[in-house]
Amino acid sequence: MSDINTLAVIGCGTMGSALIQSIYRKVSSSAPKHIILTTATDKSLEKLRIKFKIPNANGISFEFTTNNRLAASKADALLLSCKPDLSLEILNSIKQDIKDKLLISIVAGFSNSRLETFSKYTCTIMASIVLSYTSGPISLTMNPSVAARYGDYLDNLLSQAGSIILVTEDESDITNAIIGSATAFTLLYVESLIQGGISKGLTYDKAKKMTLKMVESTLKMVLTAGESSEELINALVTPGGTTIDGLLTLEEGKFRSTVTLDRKLEIRCILKNDNVRIMHIVFTSDDPDSPGIICTINMIAN
């Protein structure tokens, strides 16, 4: 395994902080000895100081700075986690300090092939903010040379935060949608169930407890049963019962075709002006009666 003692997190926002939190709280001999966190403002930096001020079992020491070049020059490896529209500007400002270092990117929409213009050793990952609370899925895309030199390091580092899933660059867009966005889709479904319970007379607390325990137990069933989701659904329904009636009602609303992610995925990034970009993530279907999902993200530079 490569000897990497210092990790710099460049642009440590929501996702970078979530990943470092998951490493910070889990006891592991593979944790970095020193982590440098950078942000654009002193105000953001102070929030990180407060978040990571409690001593951790791994004995990780932290350094905080607004100077990306300083952090890049001192680090053995870097995690790029800034806003997407700032990525190129930041990478160009530190490129002389990172060309021979491991560069890990968690920036949505920034491909591994683009990163390779800045460093010989690059990889991309995708995760969710659930890492701030518990372990979760982490996708990893890297070429064979990076796998040979840094594979063990990446495995040990990222496995502290969750389950690693190796994906190709061609699979990255749909992976970003599932890992990066599906948490919000799931939360919307959970909130809909809670609101449905309230509409039929349950208190909020009762509806929430029922829904969350149902979701928790359902996921455990899927993980342990060894059967497909379709087989489990068939085991749950009875002829003429309320469950099959509810499933048919969901299909009338095109529930499956609306949320299924194995349809055409299109990501368009439009330059609106010098400092505002609009990213449209569009899920479309060959079925003209099936509505697409459009997620619009305004990315505004500081």
Annotated binding site for NADPH, which residues?
68
Order of strands, sheet of 77-80, starting from the edge strand that comes earlier in the sequence:
61-65, 34-38, 6-10, 77-80, 102-105, 121-126, 136-142, 162-166
- For residue 15, the SS3 value is helix
- Cβ proximity of 150 and 125 under 8 Å: no
> Which structure tokens are listed for 205?
């607390």
Binding residues for NADP(+): 10-15, 38
How distant, in Å, are the alpha carbons of 173, 175, 241, 284 from that of 263?
12, 13, 31, 7
Residue ranges for the binding site? 10-15, 38, 68
CA distances from 296 to 83, 268, 270 (A): 15, 10, 11
DSSP output for 94-115: HHHHHTTSEEEE--TT--HHHH
Long-range contacts of 257-260 (CB under 8 A, 24+ apart): 257/285, 257/287, 257/290, 258/290, 258/291, 258/293, 259/185, 259/293
Closest CA to 91 of 4, 6, 10: 10
Pairing of strands 34-38, 6-10: parallel
